[in-house]
Amino acid sequence: MLNQEFMNTLSPVELQFFQSYAYKLIQEKVTAETQNYENMTGSICECPACHCRYIRKNGTKNHRQRYECKNKDCKHRFFTVTTGTFFYHSKSPYHTWLAFLGCELNHLTLEQEAVVIGRTVTTCFNMRHTLYSAVSKKVMSVSLSGITELDATYTKINLKGTKTKNMPRISKERGKHKTSLLSKNLAGVSHHKVCIITAVDEHDNILYRIGGLGNESTDKYMKYKKNFKNSDKIISDSSKSIRQFAETCHITNDQIPCIAGEQHYTTKEGDSLGDVNELHTELKNLMRKYHGISTRHLQGYLDWITICKKLKYTTEAKRRSYVVYMDTAFLKQMLTTLNICSQPQPVSLYDAYSEYHYGIFGDFNQNQHLS
């Protein structure tokens, strides 16, 4: 493997030789039929299930090398190089995945992606959420440091994709906003809203996580206390819960004043919530483009926005697909195409809708006439 230190020792003519040789290899190896497992064949050194390093080759299946773990207690003794990655259940070749990543980086809809890569909408849906599951691991343990902007935003619970028999409330017709005894329009931030905690530090590290139901509270912020252990100062609005959170964590809190009849967008020290507000705007634009985002999959979309934002700061546009591919290809993803739609809700639907005594939280037939 060539490293930067070695490359710096080469003369211009030697570098040009390597460039021409690499181009020749690209022409030979990177074709329309190049498979994802070919990019990962040199990465097998242990069992992906038990991490035992005593493994051996065990024939081939569908022209792919199989391996056997020598640990007799291992529950998954046979595996391939793609086992556990989001390529395991995928039949799409390398170029198709690169094209798909380009579509995702530009936030195309599933229908648009299906046209671009020549796959069905269902295939694009599965590819999207297995990808999001893998990249979630890259942003899960973010550590914020220095000056950090902190705020919360809210979105309605979206049950898109939920079957009628599993609905806790009346299904809403798109474009119609009728109210009934079982479908209330509550003023302000109610327990029917999902609270999203958002933080951005001075080094462009981003925390974008679901906090829970209802209005922001100190408890919701305390869930992510460990992510703020290196923060020196928190910039926020005049939120009481953020002030209490900052005091608990022994962090300075510089708040934007809230004075009746006056508009203030910066603190007394001139700091603002510009980066946080930009993330909130991107989420709203994405929801509008996708005609809503299912709450079941909301965290995956938040993680993807985070990845795209960091790439925008660090990588030129034409290289971003390759960077995402290399960064995520070897990550173990938590979802498969078999359990995407059965992923648990990140918030309690019982706490949100049990008062209606409808559907899964009541007698469907008795309450149906109330709609």
371: pLDDT strictly greater than 50? no
Q: List beta partners, residue 200.
A: 149, 206
C-alpha span between 267 and 255 (Å, rounded): 6
369: pLDDT strictly greater than 60? no
70: pLDDT strictly greater than 70? yes
> Is the same domain home to 301 and 159?
yes
pLDDT band at 191 (very low <50, low <70, confident <90, very high): confident
C-alpha span between 102 and 92 (Å, rounded): 15
Tokens of 61: 């299946």
| pLDDT in the model for residue 334 | 62
Q: Which residue has the higher pLDDT, 205 or 17?
A: 205
Q: Is residue 166 part of a domain?
A: yes
164: three-class secondary structure by DSSP = helix
Q: Which of 23-32, 87-96, 219-228, 299-308 has the lowest mean pLDDT?
A: 23-32
Q: Which residue has the higher pLDDT, 250 or 56?
A: 250
Q: Choose the most confident range, by mean pLDDT, from 39-53, 107-121, 350-364.
A: 107-121
H/E element, 301: helix 298-314
> Is the same domain home to 78 and 196?
no
| Radius of gyration for the chain, computed over Cα atoms and rounded to the nearest angstrom | 25
> Is the same domain home to 73 and 153?
no
Q: Is residue 279 part of a domain?
A: yes
> Is the same domain home to 288 and 162?
yes
Residue-number span of the structural domain to which 68 is assigned:
41-83
| pLDDT in the model for residue 157 | 92
In this predicted model, what pLDDT tens digit does every residue of 4-39 receive, in sequence order? Answer: 777 788 788 877 777 776 766 666 566 666 776 666
pLDDT band at 58 (very low <50, low <70, confident <90, very high): confident
> Is the same domain home to 58 and 165?
no
| pLDDT in the model for residue 364 | 44
In this predicted model, what pLDDT tens digit does every residue of 131-145 receive, in sequence order? Answer: 898 888 788 888 999
* DSSP codes joined into one string, 53-90: S-EEEEEEETTEEEEEE--TT-S--EEETTTTSTTTT-
Residue burial 296-307, b: 16+ Cβ < 10 Å; e: rest: bbbbbbbbbbbb
| pLDDT in the model for residue 286 | 94
The closest alpha carbon to 307, from 142, 152, 124, belongs to 142
| pLDDT in the model for residue 248 | 94
pLDDT band at 223 (very low <50, low <70, confident <90, very high): very high
| pLDDT in the model for residue 370 | 39
Q: Is residue 71 part of a domain?
A: yes
178: pLDDT strictly greater than 60? no
308: pLDDT strictly greater than 80? yes
| pLDDT in the model for residue 27 | 62
The mean per-residue pLDDT over the stretch 148-161 comes to 93
183: pLDDT strictly greater than 60? no
Q: How many domains does the chain have?
A: 2
100: pLDDT strictly greater than 70? yes
> Is the same domain home to 149 and 267?
yes
> Is the same domain home to 155 and 52?
no
The mean per-residue pLDDT over the stretch 116-122 comes to 93
Check residue 266 and give left, alpha or beta (phi > 0: left; psi -120 to 50: alpha): beta
In this predicted model, what pLDDT tens digit does every residue of 264-274 receive, in sequence order? Answer: 788 888 889 99
Domain boundary among 264, 283, 315: 315
| pLDDT in the model for residue 162 | 84
Q: Which residue has the higher pLDDT, 25 or 106?
A: 106
Q: What is the pTM of this model?
A: 0.81
> Is the same domain home to 166 and 53?
no
